[in-house]
Structure 1
C-alpha cells in the first residue's frame, strides 16, 4: 500500500527512517528531510518516488545503483555521508554505555577496492558474474564497478572466462580477485574437487588470461608471478584467498593510526596479525610479537620479514586467540597490544587485557558493535578510551572501520576489574 512518508534520519544500514503510526518504517534510498511515496509492508518501505528532495541528494555514480546490492549510499552527498558513518560509531558506543569524543570520518577509499568477490552463476545457459541484488539471492551481472581499483578493471571479464569453464558442472561459484604488484590473483571457491583434466584447463586459462596466480579453494594451481602487496617496508605474498584490507589507502590509514599510538613502545604484541600489515610497519620502531591462527598467513609474514632490511626482532606464534587468548602474565611483558580481530570481535582477549598490566591497547575493528562491546570491558577495568577514529574504506556501504586507543592510568596499572592486586 502506497503511503506518503517524511524521512527523519538515516539508519545504520543507510535506509531512510520515517515514523509510522505503528513504529519506524525503513525506506532504502530515502534521505532525511525528504517527503517520499513508498509502498509499505510492515516496517519495510519500497521507494516509489521522491516528492520533496533533500539538498543532500546526489546523482548515483553507477547505473546499477538501487538494483545491485553492493552499495547502499551512492545517493548521499559527502557531508551527510561522513556524518552518517561517524554516527554509526557514536551510536554503537552509546549503546554500550560509553561516552567519548569520536573523530571525523577518515576517507580511505584511495584508488578503490583492491579485492572483490564475484558470484558466478549460469543465466540462460551462459556464465554470468556479479553481485547479489539487495536483500536477495538474485545475481546482478556486472561488466565494471566504479568502486574497484583500476587494477581490477578487467577482473569481471576474467572471472567470467574462468566461470564458463566450470559452471556447466552445475555448482555456483565465488571467485575472489585481488589486485597485486604482479597482476591479478584469483581464487575459485565452490567447485569442490576437480579432476586433473579440469585443473590443466584452468592452468592454461590462467596463462591465457595473464593471471599472476590462480588457486582453487586456496590450493595454488599456478603461480606465474608473485602476487605481492606492499606493507610498509616489506613486500608480502599473502596465501591464496588471504585477507587484505579492502583498499591500499585504508591499510595505510589504519597502520598510521596504529604506529602513531605505539610511538615510544619498545615491545608490541600484534594480535590477529594476519600476514603483517601492522607488524611489519611496527617492527621499524619496536620489537614485535605477531600472533595469528592462520599458519600460512604467518609464514607469509615471516618470509617478508626475512627479506626486509632495517626491522627490529619480529617473532610469530600460531595461536587461536578465541580459544586461547594471551593471559595476563604473557601480556605484561609488552608495552602495547594491538588487536585487529574479525567481525566477531575479541571479547575473550579483551577480558585478559583487562586483567593485565599492559599500559596501552589499540583496537582495530571492522564492526562498531563488537568494538563497543570489547571497549566496554576495557573501560570497566579502568582503561581510558582516549581516541576513536572511524575510517571509511568501504565507500557507499554501511561498513566502517574503527581504531580505538586505550590507555591505563598509573593508578590502574596494577589492577584490572576483578584483577590481581
Structure 2
C-alpha cells in the first residue's frame, strides 16, 4: 500500500463506547501501513484493523491491543523499533499527549498529502473523486487568534490547557506554539485566576472552560461554567481584566440565557474588508486572520461577475463585506447577535444599500427555490454538520454559481453530492489548513450550473 495515503475500508458497525474485546491486552508486532482520517497510523493484521496514534507509515512497532473503536482497536503502550521515512521530531514538547495536535510527527510533504487526501477520500466515497484539488494553503505558527482552554483541579493543583487525546484529562500547558503570543501570555495568569476562583467557591472537580479571542480591539474572554459567579468571583474577574488589559470578560453559566458581561473596558471588534464589526459574546470567528484571508480570496475568485449574492450561514460578516465589494449581498444567519452586529456595522459604513441581513435557522427553514430565484450566486458556510436541507433547496434553484465553505470534508461531500445530482458541476476545490496539525481541514469549492 502506498505510504501516506488512506486505507479504503468498508464501514463496520461501531461497538458500544468503551466496549472490550477478547483481544484487549494482547501484544502485537506490526508495521504501520498508512495514515487514517484522524491522524492515526493504520495496521491490518490477521483480518483486524488497528489504530496506532503518533505513528507514520513504515514505523515498526510493538504495542498492546486496547479498546475497540471505529471498526478496529486502538493500540496502546506503543514502542517503536524502527522509524518510517516520513517521521520528524515534533516542535512541541506536548505533542502526543495534548489532544490539540495529531500530526506534528509527520514530514511537511507527508502532512500536506494527508490533509489533501482527507478531502479526496470523502469525495471518492460520494462518487466525486475526479474533482481538481488545489495545493494546500497553510497558516503559520502563532496565528491562532481563538482558543478554548479547560481548567480542572486535581490533588490541590489547577491544570489549564487542552484535553488529552481521546480523554477528559487536561494537559497542563504554559502556552501553545500555534496560538497568538497575546493568548499564550495569559496561560499562567489564567491558571492563577482559576485557583483564586476556586477559593471563592468555583467547583473545579470537573473542567471549566474559557474561550479566548485576540480581537482587533483587544482580548475577549468568555468563561463557561455550570454555575453563576458569586460577588467575590466577579471581583476577581474585574481585577483580572484590569490587570491584563482585557477588553471584555463575560460569564456563561449554561442556563440558556447566553453570556453575561462582567466587565467591558472597550468594545472588542474585528475588521472585515475595512469594516469594523463588534464581536458578539461567544460569536463565531475564523480561527486565524490568515485562514480568513485565504478563504475570502478563494471565495472571491469564484464569484467574479456576480449580480446578486445570497450568503448563507454568514456569521458576523467574515466574508460579507468583501462580497459586498462585488455585488449586493443578502446575508442570512441563525445567531441573532451576529446579525445585529453585522447590520450595525453595515449601517455605520454606509453599506445599507449593499448588505441586507436576516435572522433565520437555515437547518429548519432553508431558503427555498422561490426565494433563491433572486440570486445568481450563493455562498454558504455551514457548521460541521453541513447543510443538507439547504443543499437540497439549492439543488432545485437556478443560481449560476454556488460556493461552499466547509470545515468537514464528510458533510461537504454529502452536500456536494446533493448539488451534483441536482444539475451542478463541482469545479476546483481549495483546501485551507486553518487548524494546523489537527485532523481538521477547511475547504472552499465552486459549483456551476450545467
The answer to whether the 8 Å contact 1:390/1:401 transfers is yes
Count of residues in Structure 1 that have an aligned counterpart in Structure 2: 409
Question: Partner residue of 2:202?
Answer: 169
- The 3-state SS of whatever aligns with 1:215 is strand
Question: Partner residue of 1:178?
Answer: 213
Q: Distance in 2 between matches of 1:98 and 1:113?
A: 32
The answer to whether the 8 Å contact 1:259/1:282 transfers is yes
Q: Distance in 2 between matches of 1:37 and 1:232?
A: 53
Query: Which residues of structure 2 form unaligned runs of 5+?
Result: 1-25, 253-258
Q: Distance in 1 between matches of 2:409 and 2:353?
A: 33
Q: What are the superposed Cα offsets for residues 1-40 of structure 1, whole Å, 9 maximum, x if unpaired?
A: 3322111110000101111113221101111122222222
1:18 to 13, 34, 43: 43
Q: Distance in 2 between matches of 1:111 and 1:48?
A: 31
1:184-195 alignment runs, 5 A limit: 184-195=219-230
The answer to whether the 8 Å contact 1:346/1:374 transfers is yes
Cα offset, 1:202, TM superposition: 1.8
Question: Partner residue of 1:149?
Answer: 180
Q: What are the superposed Cα offsets for residues 260-281 of structure 1, whole Å, 9 maximum, x if unpaired?
A: 1111102101100000011111
Question: Partner residue of 2:27?
Answer: 2
Cα offset, 1:307, TM superposition: 3.0
1:216 to 238, 251, 264: 251
Question: Partner residue of 2:371?
Answer: 330
Cα offset, 1:191, TM superposition: 3.9
Of the structure 1 ranges 145-154 and 86-95, higher mean CA displacement relative to structure 2 is found in 145-154
1:204 maps to 2:245: no
2:439 to 375, 385, 398: 398
The answer to whether the 8 Å contact 2:141/2:179 transfers is no
Q: Distance in 1 between matches of 2:353 and 2:443?
A: 27
Question: Partner residue of 1:413?
Answer: none
Question: Partner residue of 2:415?
Answer: 374
Cα offset, 1:162, TM superposition: 3.2
Cα offset, 1:310, TM superposition: 7.0
Question: Partner residue of 2:154?
Answer: 123
Q: Distance in 2 between matches of 1:111 and 1:300?
A: 28
Q: TM-score, normalised by structure 1?
A: 0.93
Q: Distance in 2 between matches of 1:249 and 1:62?
A: 21
* Closer, same or farther: CA 400–363 of 1 in aligned 2, 3 Å: same
Cα offset, 1:403, TM superposition: 1.0
Question: Partner residue of 1:386?
Answer: 427
What is the alpha-carbon root mean square deviation over aligned residues?
Answer: 1.6
Of the structure 1 ranges 43-52 and 236-245, higher mean CA displacement relative to structure 2 is found in 43-52
Question: Partner residue of 2:322?
Answer: 281
1:46 maps to 2:73: no
* Closer, same or farther: CA 191–161 of 1 in aligned 2, 3 Å: farther
1:130-145 alignment runs, 5 A limit: 130-145=161-176
The answer to whether the 8 Å contact 2:314/2:333 transfers is yes
Q: TM-score, normalised by structure 2?
A: 0.87
1:293-372 alignment runs, 5 A limit: 293-308=334-349, 313-372=354-413
Question: Partner residue of 2:108?
Answer: 78
Of the structure 1 ranges 268-277 and 149-158, higher mean CA displacement relative to structure 2 is found in 149-158
- The 3-state SS of whatever aligns with 2:113 is helix
Q: What are the superposed Cα offsets for residues 372-412 of structure 1, whole Å, 9 maximum, x if unpaired?
A: 00000000011000111111011110000111111102xxx
Q: Distance in 2 between matches of 1:233 and 1:311?
A: 15
Question: Partner residue of 1:97?
Answer: 127
Cα offset, 1:165, TM superposition: 3.3
The answer to whether the 8 Å contact 1:250/1:392 transfers is yes
* Closer, same or farther: CA 310–356 of 1 in aligned 2, 3 Å: closer
Q: What are the superposed Cα offsets for residues 329-357 of structure 1, whole Å, 9 maximum, x if unpaired?
A: 11110111111000110000000001111
Q: Distance in 2 between matches of 1:243 and 1:165?
A: 29
1:212-251 alignment runs, 5 A limit: 212-217=247-252, 218-251=259-292
Q: Distance in 1 between matches of 2:92 and 2:266?
A: 33
- The 3-state SS of whatever aligns with 2:33 is strand
- The 3-state SS of whatever aligns with 2:321 is helix
1:66 maps to 2:96: yes
* Closer, same or farther: CA 243–307 of 1 in aligned 2, 3 Å: same
